[in-house]
Amino acid sequence: MYNEIQFILTFLPWIIFTAPIAIVSYLLAKEKGRNIVKWTILGCVPFINVLCLWYFIGAANKNHEEKLDIILRSLQDKPTN
């Protein structure tokens, strides 16, 4: 019984630290149109999660990029008078 409690207490700081980062990674991936599973898993890995989160906050939004590409293509296809 004591070993089980000790095991849980050993991982408790890791869980407390990584759970919010994993949730934020999930939400950012969903919002920015990225691979949700990959970014959530990377959000669970200690030390790497902070670097990935730092990168991901500054990363471009793929959904917006695709919409802008469609608009630019439609503007280029229209003949100018």
pLDDT tens per residue, range 42-80: 999 988 999 988 888 888 888 888 899 999 999 888 776
Per-residue tokens: 63? 């959904």
Q: What is the pLDDT of residues 17-45, one digit of tens each?
A: 899 999 999 999 998 888 999 999 999 99
Q: Please state the length of the chain.
A: 81
How buried is residue 77: exposed, middle or buried, by Cβ count under 10 Å (0-12/13-18/19+)?
exposed
Per-residue tokens: 34? 């990225």
Contact 56, 25 (CB under 8 A): yes
pTM for this predicted structure: 0.72
